[in-house]
Amino acid sequence: MKSCCVSWSPPSPDWVKLNVDGSMMPESEAIFVGGVVRGHRKSWMVGFSLNKSMGSILKGLKLVWKAGYRKIIVESGSQVVVAILNQNASLNHPLLNIILACKLLITNE
C-alpha cells in the first residue's frame, strides 16, 4: 500500500469550496458520501452526508446556493463523478436530471 499526502487549498476570498467524498463497503455495496463547504479562511460553513455520490454533490450545491454563494469550486474523490460533470451526459443516463441540475448550479451566477 502506498501513502500520499493530500492537501486542501482555500478558495479566493469571494468563493467557497465544496468538497465531496465517499466510500463503499464491498460486502454490502453500501455507498456513503458526505460533503463540507469551507470559505477562504478554511472555516467549516456547512456539511452533510448521504448514501449516494452524485446526489451529494447536488445537495451540497443547493446548500451553497441557499447560503447565497455563486462562485463554487466542486472537488470530489470520485473520478467517475468528476468525469460525468465535465462531459456531456447521454440523454439516456439514469442520473441525467441530477447531472443537469448540478451543471446548472455550477455554471450560473
Per residue in 8-60, pLDDT tens?
Answer: 899 999 999 999 888 876 665 567 778 889 999 988 888 877 656 677 888 88
Helix (H, G, I), strand (E, B) or coil at 35: strand
pLDDT at position 5 is: 66
Helix (H, G, I), strand (E, B) or coil at 101: helix
| 85 neighbors 47 (Cβ within 8 angstroms) | no
Distance from C-alpha of 34 to C-alpha of 53, rounded to nearest angstrom: 8
**CATH code assigned to 16-107:** 3.30.420.10
Question: Would you say the C-alpha torsion 58, 30, 33, 51 has a positive or negative sign?
Answer: positive
pLDDT at position 97 is: 83
Distance from C-alpha of 42 to C-alpha of 33, rounded to nearest angstrom: 21
Confidence of residue 74 (pLDDT cuts 50, 70, 90): confident
